[in-house]
Chain A
Amino acid sequence: MDTGDTAWILASSALVLLMTPGLAFFYGGMVRSKTVLNMMMMSFAGLAIVPILWVLYGYSFAFSPGGSGWLGGLDRLGFDNIGVATAYGTIPEFVFAGFQLMFAIITVALISGAIADRAKFGAWIVFVVIWMTVVYFPVAHWVFDFGDDGGWIATQLEAIDFAGGTAVHINAGAAGLALALVLGKRVGWKKDPMRPHNLPFVLLGAGLLWFGWFGFNAGSAVGANGLAGLALVNTAVATGAAITGWLAYDLVKEGKATSLGAASGAVAGLVAITPAASAVSPLGSIVLGIVAGVLCAAAVSLKWKLGFDDSLDVVGVHLVGGLVGTLLIGLLATKNPGGVSVDGLFYGGNADQLGKQAVAAVAVLAYSFVLTYIIGKLIDVTIGFRLDEESEVTGIDQVEHLESAYDYAGGTGGSPFKTGV
C-alpha cells in the first residue's frame, strides 16, 4: 500500500463529504424563505441514512467481489471480510469504501432539487432507502467497479466515466425528472413568483461544491499522481469555461450577467467534466465547459415549455450536463496527456468510443427513470409522497419540521407573549 495515495484519498473523502452540505446551501438559497429548511434537510437526510445503508449492504452490492456485471456480491455485507490490512489497489479498502460512500450520499441528495417545497419528509426518507438500494448501488457497481467481477459498463462495455457522469449525474437527473412527474407541480407554479430567497447562499453552495469537487474528480484517480493532477486542472478549467458559457448565454438573452447564472454555470461545468476529467486535455476542457454552460443554460427553460416542475433544474443541469460530458468524451478524448488510451473523433479516433458512451448514458438514464418512477408511484399510493395543499401554502418548514428558518422579529425582544416552555 502507498501512503501518499492513501493520504490523498483520505483527504478527498472529506472534500466529497463537504459537497452535500454545500449542495444544501446551493439548493436552499434557490427556494423561498418558507421552505429553505426542508430543502437543506433533504440533503442532510442523505447524510443520515446513506452511511447506514452503505455499511449494511450498499458497499457490498456496489463493490463486493463474487457478484456479476449487474450487481456486486455479498462478501462485504456489514463490512465483513475487510480489515485495516485489506488493500484495494494501492490503498486500504476501508479508505476506498469510505471515499465511495461520499459519492453515494451526494447522488441521492442531488435528486431533491426536483421536488422542492412539496414532499413529505417521511416519504423522502423512505425514498432514499429504496432508491439507494434499487437504483444507486447497482448502477454504482456497473460504472465504478473495475474488479474481477466488475460492472458491465466499466469492464465489458468499457465506456469512460471517470468520476460519475453516468452513475451520479445522469442517474440523479433522470430520477429527478421521474419524481417531478410523480409529485406534480407546486401550488402556484408559473403564477406565483418563486424567486430564490438568498442568492449569496447559492453562490456559497456553488463554491463549496467546487472545492469539494476536486476530491470528487482528482480523488477518482485513486492515487496521488499525475492523473489526479490532470483531473484537477480539467476540473478548474471546464468549470471556469462553463461559467463563461452560461454568462454569455445570459448576456445574449437578457442583456445582463446574473449571479444565479454564474453559480449554475459552475455546477454545469463541474457535472460535465466529471466523466471526462481523465479523458480530455486542458484545451479540450475549455471546449467541453463552454458547451456545457451554454447547453445547460438553454435546457433549464425546457420545463416551462414542457410543463414539468423540476423546481431547481436537476434535469437541466445534472441530466443535460451529465449527457454533455459523457458524450463529448466520444469526440474530445485524447491519449495525449495520458489519462486514457483512446482518441475521440476530433483526435483522429473512430466513432466506437462515442457509441460506447451513448450506450452507457442511455442505459443509466432509462434504468434510473423507469425504476424511480415506479418507486415514486409506489410511495405515493401507499403512504403519500406529497404534502396537502394547505400545508404547502403555509410552508413546509413549519409543517414538516416545526421550525422557521428566519426570525424576522427577533431583534425587538421583551415580548409580552408567554412561550409555553
Chain B
Amino acid sequence: MKLVTAVIKPHKWEEVREALASAGVAGMTVTEASGYGQQKGHTEVYRGAEYDVTLVPKIRLEVVVDDADVESVVSTITAAAQTGKIGDGKVWVVPVDSVVRVRTGETDEAAL
C-alpha cells in the first residue's frame, strides 16, 4: 500500500476530486494548507503599504491506495490539477506499513 499526498491549487480541487471519483477512489482526506515553492507568494497593498505574502493557499489531499493503483491515481491527480503555470503543486508517494478500519477492525487492503 502507498500513501499518495498531493498539494494542489485550491481552484483545481473540485476537478481532481471528480477525476479521482471516476477512477474509483472512494475516499480521501483533505486539508486547507499553505506553503510556497517556485510560486513564492505575492504582494498585497493596504492603504499604500505593501506586504509580501510568502504563503500561498493550497489544498493538501491524502489517499491510501493499493500498490496496483498508485500509478493511475498519481496520473489522474496530475492530469486534473495541471494548469501548466508555476504553483500547480506536487504529488508524492510513500509506503504504508499497515491500515486498520476502525469500525470493523479489518486490516490492510481490506481496510482501503
Chain A positions within 8 Å of B48 at CB level: 253-254, 297, 300-301
When C-beta atoms are compared, the residue in chain A nearest to B51 turns out to be: A193
Question: Is A261 on the interface with B (CB-CB < 8 A)?
Answer: yes
Q: How far is the CB of B15 from chain A (nearest CB, A)?
A: 26
Asked if A195 contacts B44 (CB within 8 A), the reply is yes
Q: How far is the CB of A201 from chain B (nearest CB, A)?
A: 14
- B47 in contact (CB, < 8 A): yes
Residue numbers in A under 8 Å from B102 (CB-CB): none
Candidate in B44, B47, B51 with the most chain A CB atoms within 10 angstroms: B47
Q: Secondary structure of the B side of the interface?
A: strand
A51 on the interface (CB 8 Å rule)? no
The bracket for how many chain A residues form the interface is 10 to 19
* 0/1 string, B41-70, CB within 8 A of A gives 1: 000111111010100000000000000000
Q: When the two chains form the complex, which single residue of B46, B51, B53 contacts A258, counting CB atoms closer than 8 Å?
A: B46
B76 to chain A, nearest CB (A): 30
The one of B45, B47, B49, B51 in contact with A264, judged by C-beta atoms closer than 8 angstroms, is B47
Residue pair A196, B49 in contact (C-beta under 8 Å)? no
Q: Which residue of B lies closest to A30 (CB)?
A: B46
A300–B47 CB distance below 8 A: yes
Cβ-based interface call for A304 (8 A): yes
Contact A301 B49 (CB under 8 A): yes
Q: Which chain A positions have C-beta within 8 A of B49?
A: 301, 304
Whether the Cβ atoms of B47 and A254 lie closer than 8 Å is no
Q: Is the CB of B44 within 8 A of A313?
A: no
Other-chain contact of B51, A195, A253, A254, A300 (Cβ < 8 Å)? A195
Which residue on chain A has the smallest CB distance to residue B47? A300
Complex CA distance for A196 and B51, rounded to whole angstroms: 11
Given contacts A193-B51, A193-B53, A195-B51, is CB(A254)–CB(B46) below 8 Å?
no
Neighbouring B residues of A300 by C-beta, 8 Å? 47-48
Closest residue of A by beta carbon distance from B52: A193
Q: How far is the CA of A258 from the CA of B46 in the complex (A)?
A: 8
Which chain A residues (180-206) contact chain B, with CB distance < 8 Å?
Answer: 193, 195-196
Cα–Cα, bound, A195→B47 (Å): 10
Interface centre among B45, B46, B51 (most CB of A within 10 A): B46
A261 with B47: CB separation less than 8 A: yes
Q: Are A196 and B46 in contact (CB under 8 A)?
A: yes
Residue of A nearest to B50 (CB): A254
Please determine whether A313 and B47 come into contact, CB atoms closer than 8 angstroms.
yes
Within the complex, what minimum Cβ distance (angstroms) separates B34 from chain A?
A: 13
A340 CB-CB contact with B under 8 Å: no
Contact between chains at B46 and A195 (CB < 8 Å): yes
Which A281-318 residues have a C-beta within 8 angstroms of B? Answer: 297, 300-301, 304, 313, 316
A125 within 8 A of B: no
Docked pose: A142 CA to B39 CA in angstroms: 58
A260 at the interface (CB under 8 A from B): yes
Distance in angstroms between the alpha carbons of A173 and B53 in the assembled complex: 31
Residue of B nearest to A192 (CB): B51
Q: A258-B46, A297-B47, A300-B48 given. 19 additional CB < 8 A pairs? A: A193-B51, A193-B53, A195-B44, A195-B46, A196-B46, A253-B48, A254-B45, A254-B48, A256-B45, A258-B47, A260-B47, A261-B47, A264-B47, A297-B48, A301-B47, A301-B48, A301-B49, A313-B47, A316-B47
A-B contact pairs, 7 of them (CB 8 A): A253-B48, A258-B47, A261-B47, A300-B48, A301-B48, A304-B49, A313-B47
The 8 A-B residue pairs with the shortest CB-CB distance, nearest first, are A301-B48, A300-B47, A193-B51, A254-B45, A260-B46, A260-B47, A195-B51, A300-B48
